Amino acid sequence: MAASRRPGSPRPRLERAARRVLAWEGARGARVELTLLDAHAMRRLNRRVTGRRGLTDVLAFALPQPDGRVLGDVYICPAAAQRWVNNGGRGTRDEGRVEEELIRLAVHGTLHVLGYDHPDGPGRTGSPMWRRQERYVRRLLGRRP
């Protein structure tokens, strides 16, 4: 994962989060590439790969290798994270909440690359994947369970 050279970019912290999740999962040799997309590019990608219109916050793709390693791509849309926070999705509108949401998306996408999944709809946030995700987000943010 190549870090962004743009000052203030969240990318280095998101890459660090993905690497830590891979380590905690014992995914030796696994590699995840993170790409930050603007809203327009994320809408296009979402339409192309899922057939769904509209903005989504994260898309993840895994490419298992013949030797058992996993390579994956995770696409994150900071504008979608900002919108989620602004609309009350995670509490207040402060920048700390946006950064937290971006970390959550990096963890979420990384877990998808590793093969975890969750149901759509109301069962999503109670799923084993979601609980694992939130446990990792708390660890990354230095919060106790």
Q: Exposure string (b/e) for 16-37, b if CB count within 10 Å is 16 or more?
A: ebbbbbbeebebeebbbebebb
pLDDT band at residue 7 using 50, 70 and 90 as cut-offs: low
pLDDT of 42 strictly over 80: yes
Q: Which pair of structure tokens corresponds to residue 56?
A: 């989504």
Q: Which pLDDT tens digit goes with each residue over 72-92?
A: 999 999 999 999 898 876 555
Where do the domains of the chain lie?
A: 11-140
What is the residue-wise DSSP string for 77-112?
-HHHHHHHHHTTTTSS--HHHHHHHHHHHHHHHHHH
pLDDT of 1 strictly over 50: no
> What is the per-residue pLDDT for 4?
44
> Residue 45 and residue 56: Cα distance in Å, rounded?
9
Helix, strand, coil abundance in the chain, percent, nearest 5:
50, 15, 35
> What is the per-residue pLDDT for 63?
92
Please tell me the CATH code under which domain 11-140 is placed: 3.40.390.30
Q: Which pair of structure tokens corresponds to residue 118?
A: 């969750």
Q: Which pLDDT tens digit goes with each residue over 88-120?
A: 765 555 667 899 999 999 999 999 999 999 988
Stretch among 32-36, 91-95, 140-144 having the lowest mean pLDDT: 91-95
Nearest CA to 82 out of 101, 58, 54 is that of 101
Q: Which pair of structure tokens corresponds to residue 57?
A: 């916050």
Its pTM stands at 0.88
